[in-house]
Amino acid sequence: MINEQDNFGISEAYNALMGYQYKITKAPAMNPTNGRIYLAGTVQSGSTVKGRLYGLDIKSTDQQPAMKVAFEQKLSAGPESCPFISPDDTHIYLFDKKGTLYAFDQEGVKMWTLQLDIIPKSPAITEDGTIYACSGNKLYAIKDLGSSGAILWVMDFKELLSDRLPDWVPSWDGTSSTPPWGERQTDLSEKIEKFREGYEKIADWLKERSNIDFQNLQPAMMSESHVSASRNFLYLSLTLGFEAEIPGNDSDSPFFAPLKSYLIALSPSGTMLRPYAIINSIESLPDTSEGTIALNKDGKIFCSHASIGSSVAYFVAREMGLLFPKPKGGICFLGPRKSEDLINSQIECQENTIHSALENLRKGDINSAYMELNNCMDFLLELENMIQEAVEQGIIGSRIGEIAKKNMERAYLELTAAHDILDEAIKNPQNGQTLTILRAQSYLRSAVNICRIVKILF
C-alpha cells in the first residue's frame, strides 16, 4: 500500500532519476579542438527552475590545474539532453525541458533556437551534421543552416506500431480482489476501445487501494533509448504500454507502464529537396532500454536494458495487488539481417504503404493516398538499388536479381499510372472522382500482387 508518508521519498527519487531540480544531472561534452568542456545544469529560484549552459576551461598553473568558467548561458527551462557537439566542432547543441533546441558557437554565443512538439532526451548527430531527436512516438531530422535550424522530416511511429499493441486488455468486474487480464482482441479499433474501458474500470479500483487517482488512462508509446547512428542507419527503441496523469505528481511526466518494446532500424534517404526515412526492420526486445544501442564492426547490435520503466511499473503494480511483467535487465544483441531478409522487409513495407493508400482511397481521401504513393515510388527505386548491390556482392544470384528487378520495374509502372490518375484528380476536383478512385485502386492492387511475387523469390 502506497500512502501519504511515501510521497516525499517517491518525489525525490523520481526527480533524481529524471534530472529535475538538481544543479548538475547531465554528462559533459568536451570539444576536441579547443579542449573546452560544456556542462548543462539548473539554477533554482523559489519554485522556478531555469537551465544553464557552462563553458569550462582547464588552465594549468605552477601548482596544479585550475578550472575557469569561460561563459554561462541562460536557458528558458532546465536541460533535458546532454550538450552535444557538431562534427566540425564549431557548434554546441542541447535540448531543454520545453522541447527547445539551442545552438551555440564555441564561445557560448547563441546562434539560434528551434521549438519542437516533443522533449528529446538523447539525440544523435551524424557526420553530415544532421541532428536526430526522438521522444514519444516521433522522430525528427533537423539541419543546422548556420543562422537557423530547420526540420528536414518527421516520422510518426504511432500508426506504424498501432497494430503491435498487446492483443489483451485488463478487465475487472469489481468483485474479485485482483483484476484479471481480459479477453483477446484482434480488431485495432476494438482493441483500443477495450484498453480504455478496461483501464477505466481498474482506475477506480486503483484509487481505492493506493490513494492514487489515475486519470485519463490510455494506450501510449514512448521512445526511451538513445538514438544511435551508424554510417547508413539509425537505431532506437520504442515501448508500447499505457500512461496516466497522477494528480499531485511534481513532474509534468505522466506515469507510464510499459508492456512491449521494439528495436527500430531505419535509413535516412531522399534528396535535399525531399528528404525522408525508410524503416528497415522492427525487432522485439525483451525489456525496456533507457540506455545505449551500439554496433560493432561485424554489424551486431547491442542494446542495454536499464529496465527503469518496467521496474517502476512492476513494483508499483505489486504494491497495488496487480500482476505485471517482471523486469529482466541486462544486455541483448541482435545479429545483422541477411540481405534477403532486408529486401523482404522492404517489400513488406511497400505492401503496407500501398494497402494504406487503398484504404485512404476507399475513404475518398485522394490527397493522403497521393502522398503515400510518392513515398512508395521512391522506396521502390531504393529497393532496386538494394537488389543490384546484393547481386554485385554475390549474395543473390544474377538470374533471381534480374527477375526481381524487372518485377520492381513493373510495380513502379503500376504505381506511376495510379499516381498520374490521382494527380489529375487533385488538379481537376470538379470531375467525377468515383471512376478515378476505381481506376487507381486497380493499378494499386496490381502493384501489391507484383510485390508478393518478388517476395516469393527470396
pLDDT in tens, 383-414: 787 788 788 877 778 888 888 888 888 999 99
Domain contains 237: yes
Which of 224, 243, 238 lies closest to 308 in space, CA to CA? 224
Q: Which helix (H) or strand (E) holds 198?
A: helix 188-210
Same domain, 386 and 402: yes
- 53-56 long-range contacts (CB < 8 A, ≥24 apart) are 53/79, 53/83, 53/92, 53/94, 53/102, 53/104, 53/108, 55/107, 55/108, 56/28
Same domain, 51 and 103: yes
Provide the domain count of the chain. 3
pLDDT band at 434 (very low <50, low <70, confident <90, very high): confident
Domain contains 15: no
Same domain, 295 and 181: yes
Same domain, 172 and 295: yes
| CATH code at position 381 | 1.20.120.660
pLDDT band at 14 (very low <50, low <70, confident <90, very high): very low
Give CA–CA dist 321/131, Å, rounded.
Answer: 43
* Residue that terminates a domain, selected from 306, 334, 362: 334
Same domain, 329 and 358: no
| CATH code at position 81 | 2.40.128
> What digits encode the pLDDT tens for the residues 98-136?
899 999 999 999 999 999 988 887 788 988 899 999 887
* Residue that terminates a domain, selected from 123, 143, 177: 123
Q: Give yes or no for residue 269 having a pLDDT over 80.
A: no
* Residue that terminates a domain, selected from 123, 149, 175: 123
pLDDT band at 306 (very low <50, low <70, confident <90, very high): confident
Domain contains 160: no
Domain contains 7: no
What pTM, to 2 d.p., does this model score? 0.66
Domain contains 133: no
Pairing relationship of beta strands 48-60 and 37-45 according to DSSP bridges = antiparallel
Same domain, 198 and 252: yes
Q: Which helix (H) or strand (E) holds 402?
A: helix 398-427
Q: CA-CA-CA-CA torsion for 199, 314, 136, 228, nearest 10 degrees?
A: -160
Same domain, 391 and 449: yes
Give CA–CA dist 245/166, Å, rounded.
Answer: 21
**3-state secondary structure at position 170:** strand
Domain contains 128: no
Domain contains 17: no
Q: Give yes or no for residue 22 having a pLDDT over 60.
A: no
Higher pLDDT, 45 or 9: 45
Domain region containing 430: 339-457
pLDDT of residue 206: 58
Same domain, 87 and 172: no
In angstroms, what CA-CA distances link 105 with 7, 26, 32, 91, 305? 42, 20, 14, 5, 35
